[in-house]
Amino acid sequence: EPEVTQTPSHQVTQMGQEVILRCVPISNHLYFYWYRQILGQKVEFLVSFYNNEISEKSEIFDDQFSVERPDGSNFTLKIRSTKLEDSAMYFCASSQDRDYEQYFGPGTRLTVT
Partner 1 sequence: AQTVTQSQPEMSVQEAETVTLSCTYDTSESDYYLFWYKQPPSRQMILVIRQEAYKQQNATENRFSVNFQKAAKSFSLKISDSQLGDAAMYFCAYRSEGGGSNYKLTFGKGTLLTVNP
**Under the rule (CB under 8 A), what is the footprint of partner 1?**
3, 31, 33, 35, 41-45, 48, 50, 55-56, 58, 89, 91, 93, 95, 98-99, 101-107
Of 9 and 14, CB closest to partner 1: 9
Q: How far is the CB of 100 from partner 1 (least distance, A)?
A: 9
Q: Which residues lie closer than 8 Å to 19 by C-beta, 6 or more apart?
A: 11, 13, 78, 79, 82, 110
Q: How far is the CB of 73 from partner 1 (least distance, A)?
A: 19
Of 50 and 64, CB closest to partner 1: 50
Q: How far is the CB of 66 from partner 1 (least distance, A)?
A: 18
Of 14 and 28, CB closest to partner 1: 28
* Contact status, residue 31 vs residue 48, Cβ threshold 8 Å: yes
AA letter at 80? R
* Contact status, residue 5 vs residue 24, Cβ threshold 8 Å: yes
AA letter at 48? S
Task: Evaluate the omega torsion of the peptide bond into residue 106 and state whether it is cis, within 30 degrees of 0.
Answer: no
